[in-house]
Structure 1
Amino acid sequence: MSTRLLHPSFQNGIRKGGGENAGGILTCKCSDRPVKVKVSGGIAHNHACGCTKCWKPQGAAFSVVAVAPSENVSVIENSDKLVVVDRSALIQRHACGACGTHMHGPVEREHAFQGLSFIHPELLDNNSWPEPGFAAFVSSIIEAGVDPSEMEGIRATFKDLGLEPYDCLSPALMDYLATWTAKKNGVLHQ
């Protein structure tokens, strides 16, 4: 069992999500003129992510991230504060330039995830979002400075929480990526 802070929402176990997820309003951490992003409709593939690109709460080794169709994600307040973290990245993470909170990350170029936006459900104004279903890019936290000797305990903690730890995405999402690529390359037909 790991004593490292994986994510604040995991401290007392995984909160069971709502079955009627209808989105909500994401709000950055600023007390003055916070950025607000509306998510109309449900989110999917909620998971813990250890990649070094995702925004994480202070002291957390993992983010909690999900996707929504990009057409369901819109900035409704203080868009002037948003900056793109890395224009060369697949996920165009729009962060508040003042507090650094990542608000939404659309995938705009040709990719299996094109048309989806990555969001952090913990920023929603309600608790109806679905609980995380797996942990992705677990070994990537080593790149952020976590000692490799902690990994066995971290993976065990995720398993105890009911989250399968992967060093990539879940098998269903990896199958989706491979299918998209095979169709694009003509190996599989529509």
Structure 2
Amino acid sequence: MVSLHPLLDNGLTKGNPNHAGGKLYCKCASDPVEVTLASNVAHNHACGCSKCWKPEGALFSIVGVIPRDNLSVTANEHKLQIVDPKAAIQRHACTSCGVHLYGRIEVDHAFKGLDFVHAELSPEPGWQEPQFAAFVSSIIEQGFDPAKIGEVRDKLHGIGLQTYDVLAPGLMDLIATFTAKKSGALK
């Protein structure tokens, strides 16, 4: 079986709900970009989309969100560049090693005010464990054999992650509510 992600392949490690945050680092051996998070992440999940940063050989990224005010770049910010300026999530990656340090939404969006981060880039334990798997079928779009997608879903279910081809229902409800209020369908 292929690697889902190094943090998933041997089961989940429970995080500490009282984790106070910490530092994330890119993979550069010298002068790494450092990002400081002032709280734990929320909605941490395995993501199969083609946009998120994944470790070499992994089918999924592990990504959570944190309030924008709880994230600061504390070293080597000059090395960061936005991967795709047209994307809703402005992913800031290290120009030397390619690792995505955070993604920020600047457009009118249900998740504006939240930054997307990969807590696995922290050497500190205790970050929230993945809560679900999103955009699972998207790995097929990236070349994964569709005949084996059932095995991937079974492995994700086996470690306790519910699988979705979008985000988890509560997050999709937030997006739908935002859209309905914006259109005037809801007050």
* TM-score (norm. length: structure 2): 0.98
Cα distance in 2, alignment partners of residues 11 and 47 from structure 1:
14
1:75 matched residue in structure 2: 73
1:24 matched residue in structure 2: 22
Which 4+ runs in 1 deviate beyond 2 A? none
Give the counterpart of 1:156 among 154, 159, 163: 154
Alpha-carbon shift at residue 53 of structure 1 (Å) = 0.3
Counterpart of 1:138 in 2: which secondary structure? coil
Q: Could you tell me which amino acid in structure 2 is paired with residue 173 of structure 1? A: L
* TM-score (norm. length: structure 1): 0.96
Residue 179, structure 1, aligned to residue 177, structure 2? yes
Counterpart of 2:90 in 1: which secondary structure? coil
Alpha-carbon shift at residue 188 of structure 1 (Å) = 1.4
Counterpart of 2:62 in 1: which secondary structure? strand
Cα distance in 2, alignment partners of residues 20 and 128 from structure 1:
8
- Kindly report which structure 2 residues correspond to 1:18-57, keeping only aligned pairs within 5 A, or say none: 18-57=16-55
Equivalenced residue count is 187
Cα shift readout 1:133-185 (whole Å, capped 9, x = no counterpart):
10000000111111111100000111101101100000010011101111111
Residue 143, structure 1, aligned to residue 141, structure 2? yes
2:5 matched residue in structure 1: 7
Alpha-carbon shift at residue 79 of structure 1 (Å) = 0.7
Alpha-carbon shift at residue 187 of structure 1 (Å) = 1.4
Cα shift readout 1:67-109 (whole Å, capped 9, x = no counterpart):
0011111110001111100000000000000000000001111
RMSD value, Cα:
0.8
Unaligned runs of 5+ residues in structure 1 are: none
Q: Percent identity?
A: 53
